[in-house]
Copies of this chain bind each other. A is one copy, B any other.
């Protein structure tokens, strides 16, 4: 039987679609990519009854076992508010106290910067991505792994500002080993203020630094605005199990007291700081979030709080932490459901990897951790780009590659458009015959540039073309990509008077701060 001529799609594509040779930069307009809405439904793995059980077990942990607050100021506040405080600094909470705090926490809040167009919102259908925070090392393909320096931090602040895929420029994107420990907050804050104009977090390892961050925000935005709007956000690490130390409590007081936001983050490696079980770990994390929430709301009723547990598992046989394990993803999904139940903004996992280099394992791990996050409908994803080696290294190539991944995940989060034209009914029924193609239809031509999100850093060429281009693997291409991103960066400038005031403040504080405060 004669077979009708087939139209090899690739040839057609080359003829009709490849107007320009490999246009690596075109794609959707940046405004569309910047859209920080989540239109997909939240993936729910627990029933209402199961979520209720998690809530009840957490309340039992809070009322029977309690949370330790290693800080007399916090204990006094909690005692005064009616919590039971024992001699070991362990605080037990009645359910009513927890419910009252939940009632006070806003379901949604804005996070602002000096550029009013870059305000982001946490809560509802909004998602905000921020770069990795905290690694002592940096790594790039040219220089390998080395201590992070101030110049690296500035590079990452610039890249976080130059990319459309991050919406919050973060905090200590890498440690600045060339700056004395007690002065780092000043310089980190200054780097973010001077080189960026997206919302920033400040630096907040202890109350003292958090207060300096607030002071610098006041210089930048004015004390009045800082009193009524949110320009900073601190991640409050609960030292699981069930412990808040004076550092983190001091930061809560500094930030919440100044009307700035906090993300309440129990860090649990299940099997070590939590049980070797999903449900027990979730119940503990939930209790820890609620305990910290009570204190934040006592410091300042209405403090914007994010429900932000960081869950991973311990490989019980080797003692290594495992990020993006199946069990931690399931636990995170349950936490997302609890945050929804409490009507609190939710923070979920970024591109966590254990891998030391930007290899295939790093690719697997990054998506394993962050894709399920997107399905929890998170409002905040810290560590969305750059994380290597269990969070001990910020990778330049990893940063560039993760940004491309973020673009894919943000596109996924846009969900399906149900507009009538998405059916392409006329093409399907009248225009394209069996064995024909849709490349030349009016419908396709109308959305030639916008139909599908593009990922220029990912190679989709033929093997021959890829070989002709130098057989470059993803890391090699990413090495060029982050340099190009740095070149695309545009300096937002900074008012001279503000700059001078910041310098004056920093000069004064460098002499005032006692390094012993950080012991």
Interface of A toward B, CB cutoff 8 Å: 1, 3-4, 6, 9-10, 12-14, 17-20, 22-23, 26-27, 40-41, 43-46, 50, 57, 60-61, 64-68, 70-72, 88, 90, 145, 239, 241-243, 245-246, 269-280, 283-284, 313-322, 325-327, 329-330, 334, 354-368, 371-372, 375, 389-390, 392-393, 398, 401, 405, 408-409, 411-412, 414-418, 421-425, 427-430, 432-439, 441, 443-444, 447-449, 451-455, 458-463, 466, 471, 473-475, 478
Contact = CB atoms under 8 A, between A and B. Distances in A.
A269 B451 CA distance: 13
Contacts of A455: 322
Nearest to A276: B451
Contacts of A10: 319, 321
Contact of A364 (B26, B320, B401): B401
Contacts of A3: 70, 245-246
Contacts of A448: 276, 316-317
Nearest to A284: B428
3 closest Cβ contacts across the A-B interface? A363-B363, A13-B319, A280-B424
Contact of A241 (B405, B422, B435): B435
A432 B316 contact: no
B18 A319 contact: yes
A481 B12 CA distance: 41
Contact of A320 (B276, B411, B460): B460
Interface centre among A88, A356, A359 (most CB of B within 10 A): A359
Nearest to A401: B360
User: How many copies of the shown chain assemble into the complex?
Assistant: 2
A44 B396 CA distance: 37
Given A61-B428, A65-B429, 9 more contacts: A1-B72, A9-B269, A18-B319, A61-B429, A315-B460, A317-B449, A318-B461, A355-B459, A359-B474
A359 B354 contact: no
Contacts of A414: 326
A409 B329 CA distance: 11
A270 B271 CA distance: 45
A317 B9 CA distance: 13
Interface centre among A57, A411, A461 (most CB of B within 10 A): A461
Contacts of A361: 363, 401, 458-459, 473-474
Nearest to A67: B434
B428 A275 contact: yes
Nearest to A363: B363
Contact of A424 (B275, B354, B427): B275
A243 B435 contact: yes
A422 B280 contact: yes
A70 B4 CA distance: 8
A474 B325 contact: no
A193 B329 CA distance: 39
A9 B314 CA distance: 9
Given A276-B443, A279-B422, A327-B411, A364 B458 contact: yes
A242 B443 CA distance: 18
A124 to B, nearest CB: 18
Nearest to A10: B319
Given A45-B416, A269-B9, A435-B243, A451 B277 contact: yes
Contact of A359 (B20, B68, B475): B475
A471 B14 CA distance: 42
A26 B315 CA distance: 11
A460 B322 contact: yes
Contacts of A9: 269, 272-273, 314, 321
B458 A6 contact: no
17 contacts: A3-B246, A23-B317, A41-B45, A242-B434, A275-B427, A275-B441, A275-B443, A283-B428, A314-B452, A316-B439, A320-B460, A325-B453, A354-B459, A359-B363, A360-B360, A360-B398, A360-B478
B360 A367 contact: no
Given A50-B418, A322-B460, A272 B439 contact: yes
A341 to B, nearest CB: 16
Contacts of A439: 271-272, 314, 316
